Structure 1
Amino acid sequence: MTSTKHLIDTFQSRLPNCYKKQAFNIELKLKEGTFYSALGGKKIQSCPTYIRFKLGRGFRFIWHIAPDGFHPKTITTRQGFERIIKQLRNSSY
């Protein structure tokens, strides 16, 4: 299982500290049982088992909804979001 810290550490661009804090806060709240829509998450229509959170204007945080809970999938730029969605639709990403 991938952790939020691992995603941030391996992200190719530099993620500002305020967005890192927001990502960790989302993870904490989801593990506490807060409903994702209360945190600003939205289901991805073309991939209904995935939800996305906005981390500011330029970054997106994608989570997978599994039977055993939520799992962080990736952090991407706003511009790379469509590419990631295509990968999710075409494979078991």
Structure 2
Amino acid sequence: MIRFGPVSVASLLLATSAAAEIHDYMILRLLYLNTSCGVEHLERLEPDTPETRRFHAECRDVAAYPNGIDVVCADVLDDRSCKVETTPKNFDNLELLSPRTE
């Protein structure tokens, strides 16, 4: 049986809570798998509440995301709670310029 002293238990709990954070690579993975953004720069924004995290990414694909892309994580402990807030831009009026096929 392994016995832990009060100091080692406290340090173990501290290490566990410190590791439970949304890291930048998790946001990059979300953006690369779910968007056509092609992240050029990622920055953390001030959170609305202590339980949330906010990110803003500048994209290489400025056609779909001209002002970048925003990501909000509702739970600091779970990267699966992160959602992309920015919808891609569609320029439907450009279809009017293409020749009609009837």
For normalisation by structure 1, the TM-score amounts to 0.34
Query: Greater strand percent: which structure?
Result: 1
Structure with more contact order per residue of length (Cα contacts < 8 Å, sep ≥ 6): 1
Query: Greater helix percent: which structure?
Result: 1
